[in-house]
Chains A and B, each alone.
Chain A
Amino acid sequence: MSASRNVLATASPFQRFVIEFGESPVAVVAVAVLALIILLALAAPLIAPQNPYDLSTLVLTDARRPPGYVGSNGFTHWLGTDAQGRDLFSAILYGLRISIQVGLAAGAIAFTLGATLGTLAGFVGGRVETLIMRIIDLQLSFPAILLALVLAAVLGQGKWQLIAALVTAQYAYFARTAHGAATAERAKDYVEAGLSIPLSSARVAFAHVLPNCMPPLIVVATVQVANSIALEATLSFLGLGLPVSEPSLGMLIANGFQYMLSGRYWISIYPGIALIALIVVINLVGDRIRDQLNPRLKR
């Protein structure tokens, strides 16, 4: 006990955070599942029996086959095939890949953009703050999905267009959170101490204040990544977002819808389960992080 206390004592705030995180069994399992999903998704090109993007490998006669069916190419379709003859397992792997790529990319860019704007607004104050925050307020009054829909329709289909739409829909959440945290940190003595040396405002704002705003921002980040994934799936489900040649999970679910009642459940259900699993696991991790960072819950 004493040894671990010493480790705890000399650890950086981040290391302490990780150690505490590990104390919740639910969170550890969620992180493990998330890691597994990410690993599978990253390794998709290597482990997927079939490349769902390669239209030449698709055999129409193998379409709509149930799970366990052995296809014309000789390999087993563990989760069945979809309406175009794609191996569902491969399609799901690639679909997860897309979801994670898009979710992370949109999240990262929205984070950077939003956090910078919010910190700037909170730190500088005055007219700059008012201007930035009113724009953010305006943006927040639109439902994210509406914004994303309109932008996706305007920008057309494609991965980067989709990411742009998602970023636009979401950066405002980061900005608002960063602004609140930055305003609170700005009032603290260490900021004044830094400015009094004097250190430049830019340095104090981004090297001192922003790192201290990370806790709430990270919570927002996990929620927003999950949201991005859900939004992308929604847009693809509606036929916007990614083109048909890139099977995102949303598109797979959409394609399989018409077959649900005729008993070919697997075409929608399995992609659906994969999507839900991904989102739930991200939310569980996010919940744990949020609880850890909530000062009122400190024992």
Chain B
Amino acid sequence: MNAFVRLTDITRRFASVPPLTERLAKRLTGAKASATVIHAVEGVTLQIAKGETLGLVGESGCGKSTLGRVAAGILEASMGAAELAGEAVMSAGRKRTTRIQMVFQDPFASLNPRMRVGDIIAEGPLAHGLISKADAKSDVTRWLAAVGLDASAARRFPHQFSGGQRQRVAVARALAMRPDALVCDEPVASLDVSIQAQIINLFLKLRRELDLTMLFISHDLAVVRHVSDRVAIMYLGRIVEIGPTEAIFAAPRHPYTRALLDSAPRLAADGAPDQDIRPIRGELPSPADPPPGCAFHQRCTFAQHRCIEERPLLRSMDGTQEAACHFPLGIQHER
């Protein structure tokens, strides 16, 4: 595949180091200074082809948001490389390209409440010399129109808009930088269902018109299924399954994927409710304290000894699908 977005062996850990004064105090009193390390992302390798949308699914603590931020150049990876069209996204702690932009989850928090919408959208392009001051106004109008907002919105403040409209502004801000790729971190999670549909349609339209490459992060399987060409499922910092959307949804290989699909309530095509949901037992493990072997083994109905001892690597299942499991579903042992 001709990878446009290439993430190679990305590892990102967060160490919560107590502040200097606390460390000094602990040293003086002889108490042990501890630092917890959170393994947010561990050894993730991903590629997204130009014009493709990769959906990234997972629950709390799986690292999808962290991975998205590494891809977008907001966070630097502890190890590994994030590249866009062959060049590194970040170096020496700073983002080096504007060609990949991010849309955040909370439209209420991601816009500066004290800036007018027009200024919010024009700020980036002006700062990077993409447009001149004279062109700013018409440029803003163009991007507002692209997201379905009227030109008069430029003079208003974020608080004067509804959640869906604010998210449109956030998308316009990202688009104004003329990116080739977008990372969308749960862009519709905070929105009402009916508004969600509008914003999803907006993303589909923009993708078609602007030939955008997208990394679409969501916990909502139905949304991801709808917009993505390929899907990757993350669990505790690692990718456990990846492949074409329909293949994954029709025949998941990893027990976690299967269990996730089974536990999400959904309505059938004729509207009938799904009253038969089968929950996964157990709690989500903490990224500060990952279980040995396969991270999912404590909750997996098919776990065996090997799963505790040896961490399974991602391997190809049948060409297009990959899963990290010693006993993938539908292929080998099925209990």
Give A residues with C-beta under 8 Å from B.
9-10, 12-13, 127, 130, 134, 188-190, 192-200, 203, 208, 211-212
Contact present for A194 and B112 (CB under 8 Å): yes
Contact of A10 with B156 in the complex, beta carbons under 8 Å: yes
Q: For B74, give its contact among A10, A130, A195, A212 (CB under 8 Å).
A: A195
- Give Cα A85–Cα B13 distance, bound, in whole angstroms: 77
**Chain B residues within an 8 Å CB radius of A196:** 72-74, 95, 101-102
Q: B160 — which chain A residues lie within 8 A by C-beta?
A: 9-10
State the CA gap A287–B106 with chains docked (Å). 33
**Selected contact of A12 from candidates B110, B128, B157, CB within 8 Å:** B157
Specify which chain A residues have a CB less than 8 angstroms from the CB of B21 in the assembled complex.
Answer: 130, 134
Q: Known interface pairs A9-B160, A196-B72, A197-B98. Does A189 touch B110 (Cβ–Cβ under 8 Å)?
A: yes
A198, B114: Cβ atoms under 8 Å?
A: no
CA–CA, A4 and B303, complex, Å: 66
B20 near A190 with CB under 8 A, answer: no
Complex A-B: 15 CB contacts under 8 Å: A12-B157, A13-B113, A130-B19, A130-B21, A190-B111, A193-B102, A196-B74, A197-B123, A197-B127, A197-B177, A198-B94, A198-B98, A199-B123, A199-B124, A200-B127
Interface: B235 (CB within 8 A): no
Write the nearest CB–CB distance from B158 to chain A, whole angstroms: 9
B residues 78-118 in Cβ contact with A at 8 Å: 94-95, 98, 101-102, 104-106, 109-116
What is the distance, in angstroms, from A297's C-beta to the closest C-beta of chain B? 18
In the complex, what residues of B have CB within 8 A of residue A189's CB? 104-106, 109-110
Binding site for A on B (CB under 8 A): 19-21, 72-74, 94-95, 98, 101-102, 104-106, 109-116, 123-124, 127-128, 155-157, 160, 170, 173, 177
**B109, A190: Cβ atoms closer than 8 Å:** yes
Q: Which residues of B contact A194 (CB under 8 A)?
A: 112, 123
Query: Which listed residue (A193, A199, A211) contacts B110, Cβ 8 A?
Result: A193
**6 interchain residue pairs of minimum CB distance:** A189-B110, A189-B109, A197-B124, A198-B95, A190-B112, A196-B74
Measured CB to CB, the nearest residue on chain B to A209 is B112
Question: Once the chains are docked, how many angstroms separate the CA of A192 from the CA of B116?
Answer: 18
Q: Which residue of A lies closest to B114 (CB)?
A: A211
Chain B nearest Cβ from A202, distance in angstroms: 11
Q: Are B20 and A130 in contact (CB under 8 A)?
A: yes
Shortest distance between the CB of B146 and any CB in chain A (Å) = 18
B14 → chain A closest CB, angstroms:
14
Task: Say how far A15's CB is from chain B's closest CB, in angstroms.
Answer: 11
**CB nearest neighbor in A for B112:** A190
B177: which A residues are within 8 A, CB to CB?
A: 197
Chain A residues contacting B20 (CB-CB under 8 Å) are 127, 130
In the complex, A200→B128 CA distance in Å? Answer: 10
Check B111 against A198 for contact (C-beta < 8 Å): no
Distance, CA A127 to CA B24, complexed state (A): 13
Instruction: Kindly list chain A residues whose C-beta atoms are within 8 Å of the C-beta of B113.
Output: 13, 190, 212
Within the complex, what minimum Cβ distance (angstroms) separates B236 from chain A?
24
Cα of A12 to Cα of B20 in the assembled complex, Å? 41
In the complex, what residue of chain A is closest to B156 when comparing beta carbons?
Answer: A10
Query: Which chain B residues lie closer than 8 Å to A134 at the CB level?
Result: 21
| A192 CB contacts on chain B under 8 angstroms | 74, 104, 110
| A189–B110 CA distance with the chains assembled, in angstroms | 4
Contact A13 B157 (CB under 8 A): yes
A10, A192, A197, A208: residue with the most chain B Cβ atoms closer than 10 Å: A197
Q: Which residues of B contact A197 (CB under 8 A)?
A: 98, 101, 123-124, 127-128, 177
CA distance A197 to B124 in the complex (A): 6
Q: A203 is contacted by which of B105, B127, B173 (Cβ under 8 Å)?
A: B127
| Closest-CB distance, A273 to chain B (whole angstroms) | 40
* In the bound complex, CA of A144 to CA of B203 (Å): 57
Q: Which residues from chain A contact B155 at a C-beta distance below 8 Å? A: 10
Compute how far the CA of A114 lies from the CA of B199 in the bound complex, rounded to whole angstroms: 43
In the complex, A211 Cα to B116 Cα: how many Å? 13
Measured between alpha carbons, how far is A12 from B115 in the docked complex, in Å? 9
Question: B97 → chain A, closest Cβ, in Å?
Answer: 9
A237 to chain B, nearest CB (A): 39
- Assuming the A-B contacts A9-B160, A10-B160, A13-B157, are A193 and B104 also in contact, with contact meaning beta carbons closer than 8 angstroms in the complex? yes
CA of A176 to CA of B155 in the docked complex: distance in angstroms? 34
Q: Which residue of B lies closest to A190 (CB)?
A: B112
Query: Considering the chains assembled together, what is the distance between the CA atoms of A87 and B111 in angstroms?
Result: 58
CB distance from B153 to the nearest CB of A (A): 11
Q: How far is the CA of A212 from the CA of B102 in the complex (A)?
A: 22
| B156 cross-chain contacts in A, Cβ below 8 A | 10
Most chain-A CB neighbours within 10 Å: which of B112, B114, B128? B112
Q: Which residues of B contact A130 (CB under 8 A)?
A: 19-21
Give the distance in Å from the alpha carbon of A13 to the alpha carbon of B159 in the complex: 10
How far does the Cβ of B307 sit from chain A's closest Cβ, in whole Å? 37
Contact B112 A212 (CB under 8 A): yes
What A residues does B72 contact at CB under 8 A? 196
> In angstroms, how far is the closest chain A Cβ from the Cβ of B264?
26
> Within the assembled complex, what's the spacing in Å between the Cα atoms of A13 and B114?
7
